Chain A
Amino acid sequence: MPKAHLKVWRGDDSGDYVEYDVEYEEGMVVLDVVHRLQATQAGDLAVRWNCKAGKCGSCSAEINGKPKLQCMTRMGTFVDGETITIAPLKTFPIIRDLVTDVSWNYRVAETMPELKLSGPDASGHRRMQQIDIDREQEFRKCIECYICQDVCHVIRDHPENQGNFAGPRFFVQLANVAMHPLDQNPKSATVAHGFGLDYCNITKCCTEVCPEGIHITDNAIIPLKERRVDEYYDPIRAIGRKLFGKK
């Protein structure tokens, strides 16, 4: 059986990396190895997980410096004997071992605008065509792993921005509201508010790490920025609005 050489963050803020050797079998993922470590050598190792299949977004960690889902990182992707460093999401306050306090995200979620849909038609259905919703369905794939929030330098390196900046996960949600074919929210509640969108410098790290493959920057953030340009920065549109009345 091959052995993995792990370097796992243990403890809280004043903790440190601890090295372990753990045996593993073909086909295992990092989370399996962490579980084996837990069952054999470190019974109190704190780690979050639920589905083991990349569906719940619980097991996020930084593996060899890259934010990833532990349950979707196969051991086969490492070369034999390589040291595998496993750290918690570094952007968030650490609780213990691989578990961090992600409550900031839940607080931001409360500030997001709620969808307000127009009513159903006479037959009792809300009609929407597939072509009207496939864009938003991409956004709704989000499993709230907060890996994008972790990697985003706006808050990772400048936590003082946390009050003004919702972060990529919530730009995805905001885009969902803004583009919903039946949503009745005024622009002031979505696009115009912005939730700190202009702090994003579209450097795309969020897109690079999103385990759901959501094109966060190209399909959510940039389109939202463009909608803001429509509102505030496009002189031709402004003239159009003056001439033909506000749309």
Chain B
Amino acid sequence: MAQATDIQRRYGKTQRVDRWWIEPALFGGGLLAFVIYSTVSALILGNSWHFEAGPYLSPFFEPLIKPGWVPEWISPAVFILWAPLGFRTTCYYYRRTYYRSFFMSPPGCAVTEPAKSYSGESKFPFVLQNAHRLFLYVALVFIPILWYGALKAFWLDGEGLGVGVGSLILTVNAFLLMMYTLSCHSLRHLIGGGLDCFSCSSYTRTRRKAWDILSLANEHHKGWAWASLISVGLADLYVHLVANGVLTDLNTWSNF
């Protein structure tokens, strides 16, 4: 007989008296809300809900890829979203969160988990989590693209330079997404963590300095993960609302 049931039989499921379930419930709920929102906004509604307003483009669609052969019912976001989706799904922080909240593996520390057997990330499908490195390379490419989108938001065709609430939102969003990527565990490893000797040359000393800085950012990876997730959702919502005439953007331009 497995000892899991042994522990339960002997001592009970858990003796924790604090509200340990709040955290997984909250974070799980948050993730779920985002997944539903982004699916609806970017994939289901797609082209039928405007995602461009003046100089603003929703970050779900950045950069806009819309070749003619693609039917109208397919959202251009599909060419973009696989990348952040893959990156975040395989992210060490999100893994922790959804393993706990959705797979209840474990539901909380020192709380008995329901599954009968367990092989962690050693077998398919979870062995695919090792693709995180690949998604990181892609995510790094997206950083300049997102900054490009943010800078573009300060330039209205025909009128030139200006600033609006939307340009600020997209800038903050680009910054948070960049920080999320820079605080990635995998990047921290690539920059310096993979070295055994930091002092061996001036090159490795420099990498150590970079590693120190990324380590600082990495300590708050969870924070960057949530901040950027919320910001990208809000940025998308904002652009949509402006594009569909629900909101008017406050800005310095005369004709938008």
Contact = CB atoms under 8 A, between A and B. Distances in A.
Contacts of B130: 225, 228-229, 232-233
Interface residues of A, number: 55
B110 interface: yes
Contact of B99 (A157, A201, A232, A236): A201
A202 B95 contact: yes
Interface string B88-120: 000010011001100001100110110101111
Q: Interface extent on B, as a size class?
A: 35 or more
B131 A205 contact: no
A87 B11 contact: yes
Interface in B102-154: 105-106, 109-110, 112-113, 115, 117-122, 126-127, 130-134, 137
A104 to B, nearest CB: 12
A159 interface: yes
Nearest to A205: B109
A160 B131 contact: no
A190 B112 CA distance: 31
Contact of B218 (A91, A202, A218, A233): A218
Contacts of A226: 133, 185-186, 189, 193-194
A85 B15 contact: yes
Contact of A131 (B122, B132, B208, B219): B208
A10 interface: no
Contact of B100 (A85, A129, A203, A229): A203
30 contacts: A62-B110, A64-B15, A65-B16, A66-B109, A85-B15, A90-B110, A131-B208, A132-B196, A156-B4, A156-B7, A157-B4, A157-B106, A157-B113, A159-B2, A200-B120, A201-B120, A201-B121, A202-B96, A202-B99, A203-B106, A205-B109, A209-B109, A218-B185, A222-B189, A223-B193, A226-B189, A226-B193, A229-B130, A233-B131, A236-B137
